[in-house]
Amino acid sequence: MWELKNQSRKPGVDRKQMPNRTVTIDGNEAAAYVAYRTNEVIAIYPITPSSAMGESSDEWASKNQKNIWGMTPIVRELQSEGGAAGTVHGSLQTGALTTTFTASQGLLLMIPNMFKIAGEQTSTVFHIAARSVATHALSIFGDHSDVMATRSTGWGMLFSNSIQEVMDFALIAQAATLESRVPFLHAFDGFRTSHEVMKIEELSDEQIRAMIDEQLVRAHRSRALTPDRPVMRGTAQNPDVFFQSRERANSFYTQTPEIVERTMKKFAETTGRQYQLFEYVGAPDAERVIVMMGSGCEAAEEAVAALTGVAFDESFGVPPSGGRLKAELRTKALAGEKVGLLKVRLYRPFSVDHFVASLPSSVKTIAVLDRTKEPGGAGEPLYQDVVTAISEAWHGRPARETHAQDACATMPRIIGGRYGLGSKEFTPAMVKGVLDEMLKDQPKNHFSVGIEDDVTFNSLSFDPNFTTESAGQVRALFWGLGADGTVSANKNSIKIIGEETPNYAQGYFVYDSKKSGAMTVSHLRFGSQPIKSTYLIQRPNFIAVHQFNFLERYQILDAAEEGATLLLNSPYEADEVWERLPRLVQETIIAKKIRVHSINAYAVAKENQLGNRTNTIMQTCFFAISGVLPRDEAIVKIKESIRKTYGKRGEPVVRQNFAAVDAALEHLHEIQIPAAASSTFELPPAVSAAAPEFVQQVTAEIIAGRGDSLPVSAFPVDGTYPVGTAQWEKRNIAQEVPVWETDLCIECGKCMLVCPHATIRAKVCKEEDLANAPAGFKTMPAKWRELPDHRYTIQVAVEDCTGCQLCVEVCPAKDKSNVSRKALNMKPQLPLRDSERVNWDYFLTLPEIPRNGNLTFRTIKDIQLLQPLFEFSGACSGCGETPYIKLMTQLFGDRTVIANATGCSSIYGGNLPTTPYTINREGRGPAWSNSLFEDNAEFGLGMRLSLDHQHNYAKHLVESFREVIGDTLADGLLNGDNSTQEGINAKRELVAELKRKLGTHASGVQPDLSDASDKLHAGSVRTARDLLSVADALVKKSVWIVGGDGWAYDIGYGGLDHVLASGQDVNVLVLDTEVYSNTGGQASKATPLGAVAKFAAGGKPTIKKDLGMTAMRYGNVYIAQIAMGANDNQTVKAFLEAEAHPGPSLIIAYSQCIAHGIDMAKGMTQQKLAVECGHWPLYRFDPRLADEGKNPFQLDSRDPKIPLQDYIYTEGRYRMLQRSDPEAARVLLKLAQESVTHRWKQYKQLAAQV
Amino acid sequence: MSLSTNYLGLVLKNPIVASSSPLSHTIDSIQRLEDAGAAAVVMYSLFEEQITFDSLYVDHYLRNNTNSFAESLSYFPEMDSYNVWADEYLNLIRRAKESVDIPIIGSLNGVSIGGWTNYAGLIEDAGADALELNIYYVPTSLEITGREVEDIYIDMLRQVKQAVTIPVTIKLSPFFSSVSNMAQRLVERGANGLVFFNRFYQPDFDLEALEVAPKLVLSNSHELRLPLRWVAILYGRILADLAITTGVHTSEDVLKGLMAGAKVTMMASELLQNGVRRIKEVLSEVEIWMDEHEYASVAQMIGSMSQQHCAEPAAFERANYMKVLDSYRPVN
**Within the 1153-1172 window of chain A, which residues sit less than 8 Å (CB to CB) from chain B?**
1154-1155, 1157
Provide the 3-class DSSP secondary structure of residue A306: helix
Of residues A485, A1079, A1157, nearest to B61 (C-beta): A1157
Q: How confident is the model at residue B119 (pLDDT cuts 50, 70, 90)?
A: confident
A452-460: Cβ within 8 A, 24+ apart: A452/A709, A452/A710, A452/A711, A452/A712, A453/A711, A453/A712, A454/A711, A454/A712, A454/A713, A455/A711, A455/A712, A455/A713, A456/A712, A459/A712, A460/A417, A460/A430, A460/A433, A460/A434
Q: How far is CA B37 from CA B118, B127, B297, in A?
A: 32, 21, 17
Share of chain B above pLDDT 90, in %: 66
Burial B142-152 (b: 16+ CB within 10 A, else e): eeeeeeebbeb
Residues of chain B contacting residue A482, judged by C-beta atoms under 8 Å apart: 65-69
Of residues B26, B66, B76, nearest to A1216 (C-beta): B76
Of residues B55, B71, B73, nearest to A649 (C-beta): B55
**A416/A1061 Cα distance (integer angstroms):** 50
pLDDT of residue A482: 86
Which among A1206, A802, A1084 is positioned nearest to A83, based on CA atoms? Answer: A1084
Share of chain A above pLDDT 70, in %: 94
Strands A184-189 and A156-159: parallel
What residues of chain A score a pLDDT lower than 70?
Answer: 1-18, 310-335, 396-409, 1000-1019
Of residues B59, B69, B70, nearest to A649 (C-beta): B59
Does the beta-carbon distance from A1155 to B59 stay under 8 Å?
no
Residues of chain A contacting residue B71, judged by C-beta atoms under 8 Å apart: 48-49, 51, 140, 907, 1078-1080
What tens digit of pLDDT does each residue of A906-929 get?
Answer: 999 999 999 999 999 999 999 999
Of residues B61, B69, B75, nearest to A511 (C-beta): B69
Q: Is A59 on the interface with B (CB under 8 A)?
A: yes
ipTM: 0.90
Helices (H), B118-260: 118-126, 146-163, 179-188, 225-234, 251-260
Gap from A653 CA to chain B (nearest CA, Å)? 6
pLDDT of residue A177: 98
**A296/A304 Cα distance (integer angstroms):** 12
**B182/A791 Cα distance (integer angstroms):** 64
Residues of chain B contacting residue A514, judged by C-beta atoms under 8 Å apart: 69
pLDDT at B237 over 70: yes
First to last CA, chain A: 91
Q: Is A1082 on the interface with B (CB under 8 A)?
A: no
Does the beta-carbon distance from B72 to A1077 stay under 8 Å?
yes
Q: Is B215 on the interface with A (CB under 8 A)?
A: no
pLDDT of residue A394: 84
A696's CB contacts (< 8 A; 6+ apart) are: A687, A689
**A1007 strand-pairing partners:** A1000
Residues of chain B contacting residue A1164, judged by C-beta atoms under 8 Å apart: none
pLDDT of residue B328: 57
Of residues B59, B68, B81, nearest to A646 (C-beta): B59
Mutate to test the interface with A, among B44, B57, B75, B208 (most CBs of A within 10 A): B75
Does the beta-carbon distance from B56 to A653 stay under 8 Å?
yes
Of residues A482, A646, A1216, nearest to B65 (C-beta): A482
Does the beta-carbon distance from A482 to B69 stay under 8 Å?
yes
**Within the 402-461 window of chain A, which residues sit less than 8 Å (CB to CB) from chain B?**
none
Q: Is the CB of residue A210 less than 8 Å from the CB of residue A15? A: no
Residues of chain A contacting residue B68, judged by C-beta atoms under 8 Å apart: 481-483, 487, 511, 515, 518, 520
**A279 strand-pairing partners:** A343
Task: Report the chain B residue with the minimal C-alpha distance to residue A1094.
Answer: B77
Q: For A159, list phi and psi in degrees, rounded to 5.
A: -105, 130
For chain A, the 3-state helix, strand and coil shares in percent, each to the nearest 5, are: 45, 15, 40
Identity of residue A484:
D
pLDDT of residue A402: 47
Q: Is A216 on the interface with B (CB under 8 A)?
A: no
DSSP labels for A31-64?
Answer: HHHHHHHT-SEEEE---TTTHHHHHHHHHHHHTT
Nearest 5°: the CA angle A569, A571, A577 is 80
Q: For A255, list phi and psi in degrees, rounded to 5.
A: -80, -25
pLDDT of residue B79: 85
Residues of chain A contacting residue B211, judged by C-beta atoms under 8 Å apart: 819
pLDDT of residue A332: 45
Residue A489 neighbours by CB distance under 10 Å:
26
**A18 strand-pairing partners:** none
Which among B273, B274, B228, B233 is positioned nearest to B255, based on CA atoms? Answer: B228
| Whole-structure pTM value | 0.91
Q: Tell whether omega for the bond before A913 is within 30 degrees of 0, i.e. cis.
A: yes
pLDDT of residue B323: 53
Does the beta-carbon distance from A1219 to B65 stay under 8 Å?
no
Burial of A736 (0-12, 13-18, 19+ CB in 10 A): middle
Task: Report the chain B residue with the minimal C-alpha distance to residue A58.
Answer: B77
Q: Is the CB of residue A524 less than 8 Å from the CB of residue A507? A: yes
Q: Tell whether omega for the bond before A1203 is within 30 degrees of 0, i.e. cis.
A: no
Q: Could you tell me how many CB contacts below 8 A there are between chain A and chain B? A: 143
Task: Report the chain B residue with the minimal C-alpha distance to residue A1093.
Answer: B76
Which among A1227, A1179, A1177, A1242 is positioned nearest to A1207, based on CA atoms? Answer: A1177
Q: Is A1219 on the interface with B (CB under 8 A)?
A: yes
Q: Is the dihedral of CA A1138, A1139, A1140, A1144 positive or negative?
A: positive
Catalytic sites of A, residue numbers: 48, 81, 131, 1078
How is residue A400 annotated by DSSP? G
**Within the 173-202 window of chain A, which residues sit less than 8 Å (CB to CB) from chain B?**
191, 195
Q: How many residues does chain A have?
A: 1250
Q: How confident is the model at residue B39 (pLDDT cuts 50, 70, 90)?
A: very high
Q: Is A488 on the interface with B (CB under 8 A)?
A: yes
